[in-house]
Amino acid sequence: MYGTNSRPRGRGYGHFHGPSRDFRRELNLPEGMSPGDVIGKQGRNVKLLGQLSGGARVNVDGDTRVALVSARSQEVLNRAVELLQKQWDAAKRVGKP
């Protein structure tokens, strides 16, 4: 199926190989906010959130409108959730949603 030097590719942003991410929290997206608003252009918002939080990941399900935040520690998870909620609060203040 694959050549000797080829291997299957990942499934895009959010696919993770490495330390376990045992700490998780689901958050419902605020009314009027689209999954794209949370993710940002080319994933910029979730990438920045990961950097600022210390390594958390955010995956957004557009059908259920749920953001799944996962991290390697409770501290990183709490920081990521706080940052995500601040992003949402800021968006409300400037009229988005």
Number of domains in the chain: 1
Q: Is residue 16 part of a domain?
A: no
In a domain, 43, yes or no: yes
pLDDT, one tens digit per residue, over 43-97 is: 999 999 999 999 999 999 999 999 999 999 999 999 999 999 999 998 888 876 5
Q: Is the residue at 15 inside a domain?
A: no
Q: Is 81 part of any domain?
A: yes
Residue 83 in any domain: the answer is yes
Residue 1 is assigned to a structural domain of this protein: no
Cα–Cα distance for residue pair 18/44, rounded to 1 Å = 21
Residue 60 lies in a domain: yes
What is the domain range of residue 42?
23-91
Q: What is the pTM of this model?
A: 0.74
- The CATH number linked to 63 is 3.30.1370.10
